[in-house]
Chain A
Amino acid sequence: MSHLETKNLTFTYGEGTPFKITALDNVNIDISKGEFVAIIGHTGSGKSTLVQHLNGLLKSSSGEVLLDGKNIHANKQTLFDARFRVGLCFQYPEYQLFEETVYKDIAFGPANMGLSKGEIDERVRNAAKYVGIPDEMLSKSPFDLSGGEKRRVAIAGVISMEPEILILDEPTSGLDPMGREQILELIKNYREQTGKTVIIVSHSMDDVARFATKVIVMNNSKVEMTGTVDEVFEKASRLREIGLSVPQITEIFIKLREKGYNVSEKIYTVEQGYLELKKLFEGSVTND
């Protein structure tokens, strides 16, 4: 059974002004429990608008969002529940930090849920552990941290609500390679340890290829394709047409194949590439 689902979602920004934009056009997605979904698309393709519908921040002009088969806008209570069951971490979340200490900022979500002090404390410490924030950092001011650290604190602020579905909008944008690596690693670990559904929005194919079990490609406010990493990256030429690309390593293997080398095109990570090349070299050694 589908866990989170949208039905014919359509949304327009700025109705009645010359800036009117259709951000979502009849979008249908279907996400099952435990999946690691990547929503990819060009800037302005509607991916951020889509995720803001998933926890009920935006309400579409037509269509509905179903959580476990129930419309999240059914009444106030279902909407309130959706906010906590679907945790959404915005793009550049570090600009939303406001508390005096890191601890208090991470506790903001759980406190809003009306949990007891003991429970809040447990959740804050758990979340801090997931994102790799050491205990001594919890008493610091969030404004004194580095960019990457702030980002991790902000993500912990959403994880601490222990949502059934965690959505991260461009979690690695604006970070250096090391920061990116850390964030992706922590998301991967979080999912492995909790087994919860994770959705990440990204335009980096390299990030997506490594983890996602399902890829949703958005283009021009519509869902362009849905499928596994293999199924989506197979259509490399279509992806390029809509301003996206396949991972760099895949690009290399496609070119190698065009040059007549006997390698697979379905290589999406450096790891796979290494093994494929090794196979090729070993093969050519035995052939000689």
Chain B
Amino acid sequence: MIKDITIGQYFPLNSVIHKLDPRTKLLFTVVYIVMVFVSNNFISLFFCLFTGIAIISLSKIPVKTVLKGLKPILMIITITSVLQIAYVKTGITLVEFWKIHITSGGVLTAVFMALRISLLIVMSTMLTYTTSPTSLTNGLDRVFAPFKKIGLDFHTVTMIMTIALRFIPTLIEEVDKIMSAQKSRGANFEQGSLMKRAKALIPLFIPLLFNSIRRAYELANAMTCRCYNGGKGKTTMNALKFTKRDYFGVLSVAVVIGAVITLNIFCGEYNAEFTFNLAV
């Protein structure tokens, strides 16, 4: 379970997507999220899905790894879907049994929502999968650089973000290690009542907290020793540069968002009955 957390992980490969400028990928991610939210019918959403599949296949990251990111939120998806099925009562009745009343509208809305959430999660993890933490910070730094003129220092924020991302795998490893060590002393994390299981976490969280604080001090010292003083006058060794690939990327983003808007207008608002009739 703990190993399923994929947010913030980097998956080093040598694909076209990996080689893109981080700013292009940031732009794409933001646009993609907007796209998924504005999609108001199945055709638009399928277009988003298709774009997502294209990106994933271009990135060469195994599908299994990409889908692993969905595991921790499977519960949320399930609950949302069940609620949709329970409350949306439009369309044709599919099942009528005792107090259960399932309609085509409910089912389709549930599918629509589940697909929407899945796409959001999967494509956000794709950003960190294909972008190394340093490259991501550089990108964010540059994107937010203009805000400095109005007194907002985003460098600190991006640095905090990078450090947080950087330490997720370290913490996961540490949790694993402490759990193993306490298991060796007979600790049981999997069985017992809720209260018992909550109590069983104490031997895990106290060392974890203690070690994290220790690590924070060490990191702060190490950064100070290398003369870190915030973003003032900081230059980068590998200055970001837009290449032909990136211009093409930005162009594709524009085309894709244009397509979604067009599809939204021409295919009309999401309508369960209509879509269902279309499907039948």
Taking Cβ atoms with an 8 Å cutoff, the residues of A that contact B are 16-18, 52, 55, 57, 83-84, 87-90, 93, 95-98, 108-109, 112-113, 143, 157-158, 161
Contacts and interface: CB of A to CB of B under 8 A. Distances in A.
Interface stretch (B94-102, B206-214, B251-259): B206-214
Contacts, number: 59
Contacts of B180: 52, 57, 90
Contacts of B211: 95
A113 B13 CA distance: 47
14 contacts: A16-B65, A17-B65, A18-B13, A52-B180, A57-B184, A84-B186, A90-B177, A90-B180, A90-B181, A93-B181, A95-B210, A95-B211, A96-B207, A108-B203
B187 to A, nearest CB: 6
Contact of B207 (A89, A97, A109): A97
Interface string B178-194: 10111111111000000
Given A16-B65, A96-B178, A83 B207 contact: no
A83 B182 CA distance: 10
A113 B184 CA distance: 11
B64 A98 contact: no
Nearest to B185: A109
A18 to B, nearest CB: 7
Given A18-B13, A95-B178, A157 B210 contact: no
User: What class of interface size applies to chain B in its complex with A?
Assistant: 20 to 34
Interface string B65-87: 10000000000000000000000
Contact of A83 (B11, B183, B210): B183
Contact of A88 (B178, B184, B210): B184
Contacts of B187: 108, 112
B239 interface: no
B245 to A, nearest CB: 23
A96 B12 CA distance: 32
A40 to B, nearest CB: 21
B202 interface: yes
A108 B13 contact: no
A285 B129 CA distance: 74
A96 B186 contact: no
Given A95-B178, A96-B182, A97-B207, 7 more contacts: A17-B65, A57-B183, A89-B184, A98-B207, A109-B186, A113-B186, A161-B185
Given A16-B65, A17-B65, A18-B11, A95 B207 contact: yes
Contacts of A88: 184
A24 B89 CA distance: 57
A98 B203 contact: yes
A57 B180 CA distance: 7
Interface string B156-184: 00000000000000000000011011111
A110 B185 CA distance: 8
B190 to A, nearest CB: 11
Contacts of B178: 95-96
B2 to A, nearest CB: 14
A157 B203 contact: no
B62 interface: yes
Contact of A96 (B11, B65, B181, B202): B181
Contacts of B202: 98
Nearest to B12: A18
